[in-house]
Amino acid sequence: MRQLRTLNDLSITEINYLLTQAEKPIAPLNGFYTAANLFFEASTRTKYSFEMAEAKLGIHKFDFAAQASSLEKGESLYDTLKTFESFGTDLLVIRHPQARYYQELEGLNIPIINAGDGAGDHPTQSLLDLLTMKQEFGTLLGLHVVIAGDILHSRVANTNAKILEQLGARVSYAGPAEWMPPHISAKQLLTMDEAVKQADVMMMLRIQTERHDGKAFWSKQSYHNRFGLTEEREQKMLPHAIIMHPAPVNRGVELADSLVEAERSRIFKQVQNGVLVRQSVLKYLLETKGAKRYENIV
């Protein structure tokens, strides 16, 4: 059964195929398809870009509200999803606060797209980020990407770092020491002042306050001064370098308000690419439903 739980579910060939297809006009699917969108965490960009992609492809969607479902009566996630499978739903799009929630769903026989699991993975976000960088630079090989901010709690950082390195990019990190995972080596760490002078891509991250257990490590102003992309730091970036952020953006915290829509910002381009990538992924999984891993796509 074809799935997209992490990017490990795709070969490099498939990833390149999906990125190529995302930039081509995609006609509505032939036949009648249904998808259930189950979001157990708040979302704007991911949720509604999936809905836009589904609408463009002619997929009939079911919006799921946990508080109005049998989960409120104690039903398990597995049984809820098994119910959608039994309805004949063709595909599930799931965001869940539990990391690797999909490991508890092995008995399902329906494609799942992971729309984000806790601080684990966010594969479609990574694909749209890859597309944005490829549009800008033509290749990821040799690109220097600095991921800056709340690395420890970010599923975006986790997913992007792995695939960028596989595709030949160099990944460095900047941010507070208490938000750095233990696997990051000292040679990968940069201060923000070092990072802006070296990076082709400054990938800023939102502070994941909902995953901090109520602990306030930094005031907004002190964080911005030390770890944010200020106007002064932006002036030191390489002429060709771009700014990315998965959003939502805390303006004046991760980056200066004036930089969100600056000439070198690609933040809203990422949003546009989110629809394109999710169309590509939906179409691919539905058309290869039940197929084994595709290694050689023409």
Helix axes 45-57, 267-287, angle to 10 degrees: 50
Torsional sign, CA 147, 152, 154, 159? positive
pLDDT tens digit sequence for 193-223: 999 999 999 999 988 766 666 666 678 899 9
In contact, 71 and 80? CB cutoff 8 Å = yes
**DSSP secondary structure string for all residues of 213-272:** TT---S-HHHHHHHHSB-HHHHTTS-TT-EEE--S---BTTTB-GGGTTSTTB-HHHHHH
Hey, how many other C-beta atoms are within 10 angstroms of the C-beta on 235? 8
Report how far residue 149's alpha carbon sits from residue 135's, in angstroms, rounded to the nearest whole number.
Answer: 24
The CA distances from residue 280 to 8, 22, 24, 96, 275, in Å, are 17, 5, 9, 22, 9
C-alpha–C-alpha distance, residues 203 and 19, integer Å: 19
Determine if residue 45 is labeled as part of a ligand binding site: yes
- Chain centroid, CA 242 distance in Å: 18
User: Is 251 among the annotated ligand-binding positions?
Assistant: no
pTM of the model: 0.92
**Is residue 122 annotated as involved in ligand binding?**
yes
Output phi, psi for 64, to 5 deg: -105, 130
155 belongs to an annotated ligand binding site: yes
Query: The dihedral of CA 52, 55, 59, 64: what is its sign?
Result: positive
Cβ burial, residue 263 (10 Å; 0-12/13-18/19+): exposed
The verdict on whether residue 36 carries a ligand-binding annotation is no
Domains observed in the chain: 7-121+274-287 (3.40.50.1370), 123-271 (3.40.50.1370)
- The answer to whether the annotation marks 25 as part of a ligand binding site is no
Tell me the DSSP string of 11-71: -HHHHHHHHHHHTS--PPPSS--EEEEEESS--SHHHHHHHHHHHHHT-EEEEE-GGGSGG
What stretch of H or E contains 127? helix 123-137
pLDDT tens sequence across 87-132? 999 999 999 999 999 999 989 999 999 999 988 899 999 999 999 9
Pick out the chain residues at pLDDT < 70.
209-217, 290-298
pLDDT at 212: 65
95 assigned to a ligand binding site: yes
206 is in an annotated binding site: yes
DSSP 8-state code for residue 135: H
4 Cβ contact partners less than 8 Å away, ≥ 6 residues apart: 10, 111, 112, 113, 114, 123, 124, 281, 285
| Residue entry with tokens 């992490």 | 6
CA distances to 28, 103, 148 from 291, rounded to whole Å, are 21, 20, 38
What are the CA-CA distances from residue 198 to residues 173, 192, 193 (Å)?
A: 12, 10, 9
pLDDT of residue 298: 42
Contact yes or no for 151/144 (Cβ under 8 A): no
Classify residue 32 as exposed, middle or buried by CB count within 10 Å of its CB (0-12, 13-18, 19+): exposed
